[in-house]
Amino acid sequence: MRTSLSITAICSLFYSTLATITPPSQDAFYDEPNNISDYTAGQVIRSRSVSPELVSLLSLPVKVSVKTVYQYLFRTTDSLGDAVASAVTLIEPFNSDPSKLLGYQAFYDSANVDCSPSYTLRADYENLGFSVSGLNVSEDIPFIAAALNLGWWVYTTDYEGLKAEFTVGLQSGHAVLDSTRAVLSAGPDHGLSKNPVYALWGYSGGSLASTWAAELQPSYAPDLNFAGVAVGGTTPNISSVLRTINEGSNAGLAFSGIVGQSRAFPNLTDWLNENLIPSKSDEFYSIARGCLSQASSNGKNQDLYSYAKDGEASFSGGVPESIFTWSGQLGLHGTPTAPLFVYKAVGDEISPVADTDTIVKKYCGEGARIEYHRDLVGNHESEALSGSASALAWLADRLNGEDVSSGCSTEDVLLSSLSVETIALLGEELFSVIESALGGML
Ligand SMILES: *[C@@H]1O[C@H](CO)[C@@H](O)[C@H](O)[C@H]1NC(C)=O
Ligand SMILES: *[C@@H]1O[C@H](CO)[C@@H](O)[C@H](O)[C@H]1NC(C)=O
Ligand SMILES: *[C@@H]1O[C@H](CO)[C@@H](O)[C@H](O)[C@H]1NC(C)=O
Ligand SMILES: *[C@@H]1O[C@H](CO)[C@@H](O)[C@H](O)[C@H]1NC(C)=O
């Protein structure tokens, strides 16, 4: 039977756990050992079991089945090729099927390590803005809950690493791949199958990490064999995203993204020191400090270019362009061999659909297997929900061992063709969130 916690129980859990949870910036669990380079990629450095209280961040009376939660600090590789540590959280549901494992990449979209999912999934972090206004539910929890309710073990990676390198493709991809190795080697001690079928899922910032992982896997982690990778709200070209969101409601993400990249590339930090207008530099960095929704609201309608001495021209060419290309452009580091399911709203206002059309075409030309759904209805926000049903159905087929056909197919869909069967798959949590958010559109 699945457990369901009443609102009262949730509130008391919330108040009893909040005080005891230390944020990553102050928690010794996250300390990187001095001999980090003695560890192999994906090797576990330390582990702990934490209380199975994912629900402590929900104020909705929903069911989330969680039996145990383990966390691992593991070794991975940063964008310059150096050994670094990162954390991953492994969640075991009740009535689990230990042969099925999903890597869910959260869209935490932040240049602040205290917004990492290993922490925000455990604590209510309202002040840092990890909640949907009016709902007070972590934006990722419904998707994780849907997978857990299907009996899948779920791991979610702090793929931005200990320096919160938001939008940094190489770091993010490596961390997802190494966390998979860590979970595959350590999970069986806790009941995960020794040879589970495993797949990846991510939307928006989570799709960035998942797609980079898929692209880097053949070269960086040929030992891994993902049954599938489902990515939605894809952001294949960071330069293009920056231009698209500037001065709009999501402009704050541009600030966090640039600061994230500067953590990975010292020449970009130097460049910012030289090129930001000194009197505006503090404001630039303070916009970048929040978690997802806070960064967005702080930076709402801001003009990124007005912070640089030479305005928009500052960002073309030289250091920023070299980094945004190398570390923010998909398609330059390999071709995914794992099958992909890609879902994207044609009206996406954060990353133009043309960029996704381009990368799908490039990957397909290089032999990838991709099922691509272009949703003719909605935008970046609505697609996260409406596309989730098809993504989950596709992932369920992969975890059930069904093969994909070879080659690529592209389909224009309406509201990602939410059907009765796929809605049933969602479970109560995700369905209730979809219903309240998209009710009028359905
Ligand atoms: C790293 O150093 C610690 C503390 O000295 C030691 O316990 C550990 O075995 C070392 N790890 C590796 C991989 O050498
Ligand atoms: C969400 O949190 C705010 C601030 O604490 C509160 O006023 C509001 O009632 C909450 N909403 C729900 C649906 O619980
Ligand atoms: C990525 O976006 C930038 C800015 O819009 C553009 O100049 C570049 O050509 C794009 N790259 C690809 C591969 O489409
Ligand atoms: C900035 O540093 C990165 C990583 O070392 C390098 O790939 C890039 O070419 C550098 N950019 C410039 C303009 O030198």
Residue written as token pair 């989950």: 392
| Pair of tokens at residue 96 | 């689990």
In a shared domain, residues 248 and 371: no
Specify which residues 372 forms β-bridges with. Answer: 342, 410
Atom of ligand 1 nearest to the CA of 35: 1
Q: How far is the CA of 199 from the centre of ligand 4 (A)?
A: 33
Which protein residue has the closest C-alpha to ligand 3 atom 9? Answer: 240
Query: Do residue 110 and residue 57 come from a single domain?
Result: yes
Same domain, 344 and 195: yes
Nearest alpha-carbon partner for 115 in 159, 172, 54: 159
- Specify which residues 237 forms β-bridges with: 329
Alpha-carbon distance values, 34 to 76, 88, 174 (Å) = 14, 20, 20
Same domain? For 382 and 400 the reply is yes
pLDDT at 327: 97
User: Residue 152, SS3?
Assistant: coil
Alpha helices in 265-411 (DSSP H): 266-275, 281-287, 292-298, 318-326, 353-365, 380-386, 388-399
Q: How confident is the model over 302-308, as a mean pLDDT?
A: 96
pLDDT per residue as tens digits for the range 277-295? 999 999 999 998 877 666 6
User: For residues 15 and 429, which has the higher predicted lDDT (pLDDT)?
Assistant: 429
Around ligand 2, the residues with Cβ closer than 6 Å are 59, 134-136
Ligand 1 binding residues, C-beta < 6 A: 33, 35, 38-39
Q: Is residue 204 domain-shared with residue 283, that is, in the same domain?
A: no
Pocket of ligand 4 contains residue 319 by CB under 6 Å: yes
With CA atoms as reference, report the closest residue to 114 among 51, 21, 205, 204: 21
- For 411-439, how does the pLDDT look when each residue is reduced to its tens digit (9 = 90+)? 999 876 666 666 677 776 677 767 666 66
Look at residues 275, 292, 326 and tell me which one is the last residue of a structural domain: 326
280 and 364 part of one domain: no
| The total number of structural domains that make up the chain | 2
Distance in Å, CA 171 to ligand 1 centroid: 23
35 Cα: distance to centroid of ligand 1 (angstroms): 7
Determine the Cα–Cα distance for residues 5 and 261; give it in Å rounded to an integer.
40
Q: What amino acid positions are annotated as catalytic residues? A: 204, 348, 380
Residues 339 and 364 in one domain: yes
The per-residue pLDDT for range 73-90, each reduced to its tens digit, is 999 999 999 999 999 999
* Ligand 4 center from residue 208 Cα (angstroms): 21
* Boundary residue ending a domain (278, 300, 326): 326
Domain CATH for 41: 3.40.50.1820
Q: Are residues 388 and 377 in the same domain?
A: yes
Tell me the CATH number at 274. Answer: 1.10.260.130
Give the number of whichever ligand sits closest to the CA of residue 239.
Answer: 3
Tens digits of per-residue pLDDT, 93-130? 988 999 999 999 999 899 999 888 898 777 544 433 34
Please, what is the average pLDDT of the chain?
87
pTM, two decimals, is 0.90
> What number of CA atoms fall less than 13 Å from residue 364's CA on the CB side?
16
**39 and 105 together in one domain:** yes
Return the ligand number nearest the Cα of 265. 4
Token representation of residue 161 = 């690493």
Same domain assignment for residues 382 and 289: no
- Of the residues 326, 359, 394, which one is the last residue of a structural domain? 326
Q: Which residue, among 370, 334, 327, has the nearest Cα to 231 in the 3D structure?
A: 370
pLDDT at residue 56 greater than cutoff 70? no
Residues 87, 64 share a domain: yes
Q: Which two tokens stand for residue 232?
A: 């939605």
Its domain, for residue 67, covers 2-237+328-441
Same domain, 167 and 67: yes
CA distance 14 to 7: 10
Q: Which of 215, 235, 240, 359 to mutate to test the pocket of ligand 3 (most atoms within 8 A of CB)?
A: 240
Angle of CA points 41, 332, 354, to nearest 5°: 125
